[in-house]
Amino acid sequence: MKMFNRFFLLFLFIFLVCHIGNFLNGNIEPSDRLFLGTQSGTTGAVRGLVKDAESGKVIAKVKIVLVNSKNSTMKYELKTDKKGAYYKGGLRPGYYEFIVEKEGFLPISKTIRARLGETVQEDFELQSLESQVPEAITKAKKAIKFFQEAQWEDAVKEFSKAIAENQSSHMLFYYRGLAQEKFGNLEEAMSDYQKTIELKPDFALPYSMAGKIFARQQNYEKAREFYQKSVELDDQNVSTLYNYAVVLINIGEKSDEAIVILEKLLSLDDAHADAYYRLGMLYVSQGDTERAKELLQKFLELDPENKNAPIARQVIDALK
């Protein structure tokens, strides 16, 4: 009985530190935690096409910047060729933020995982400014330039000018919301995301971004509402699924829902280290020790240097 009590107290302490502490330290981010440990001497590659979303034609000389999510010094820049194709080899396995931009088009970004010994195919479609903001093309171009240069205050001002002349473009409101958020104006960003949703209710991203703001404000019930809607519209976005699961965990009494979401995430991405950790801890709380050990061991294999690795090792030892 004494051994059981000691184990229970150890588990309770670890569980609280893990799930409450990690959230307050900023686990809710679209891509900050999406990485796995690099493997020395082994690489992967990524290739694809960039097309015009309206015409389907390929676009040459598109600038593509790749930044490793775990190590920002690992940064690469390339351009598409005459056939709209790009290729980058020699990438260490892990997650990279792709920033795709071309004058006259709205820039886009996406997190992509380079896989060991594989060439990942990833195509992009760019929306032309003409199709999005026909009456405010010049000002929108200027706003996009400031956005690309991370000059958030100036980007907000220029997007506002473009919106004043074209209040029906959901993308203008969405990008102004992103700039507002980067500049620290969370209430204004939320307003822009909600306006984006009003203009285009089937656009998943503004729901996810609004959910992230509510989560930061510890309004978990509201965050859950927005993440749920985002997942209903797009259940393939790994970042949204992970953040949604973390919110469910922080609400409490939502373990079953969180498990379903994390299992779905791992079916899409079987190398998401943090998802294995979260899921493993949830199974510990439900008494499924074998499944918990399996998941936590996989977490340690993928990211042995993760800040939660010592906790995972302690839990595995306790479960033995």
Judging by beta carbons within 10 Å of its beta carbon (0-12, 13-18, 19+), is residue 14 exposed, middle or buried? middle
Q: What range defines the domain where residue 177 resides?
A: 129-201
Task: Give bridge partners of residue 108 from the DSSP assignment.
Answer: 100
| 81: in domain | yes
Whether 177 and 140 map to the same domain: the answer is yes
Total number of domains constituting the chain: 3
User: Which of 90, 109, 126 is where one domain is finished?
Assistant: 126
| 214: in domain | no
Report the percent of the chain where pLDDT is more than 70: 83
Closest CA to 275 of 231, 306, 234, 315: 306
* DSSP calls for 106-118: --EEEEEEE-TT-
- State how far the Cα of 272 lies from the Cα of 252, in Å rounded to an integer: 23
Whether 85 and 168 map to the same domain: the answer is no
Whether 299 and 240 map to the same domain: the answer is yes
Tens digit of each residue's pLDDT (9 = 90 or more) over 296-314: 999 999 888 888 999 999 9
Tens digit of each residue's pLDDT (9 = 90 or more) over 47-78: 999 998 888 899 999 999 998 877 778 889 99
Question: What is the average pLDDT across 161-175?
Answer: 89
What tokens appear for 27 in the block? 């686990």
* DSSP calls for 168-216: T-HHHHHHHHHHHHHHT-HHHHHHHHHHHHHH-TT-HHHHHHHHHHHHH
Segment among 30-39, 204-213, 285-294 with least mean pLDDT? 30-39
| 206: in domain | no
Judged against a pLDDT cut of 60, whether residue 41 lies above it is answered with: no
| 261: in domain | yes
pLDDT at 130: 63
CATH number, domain containing residue 298: 1.25.40.10
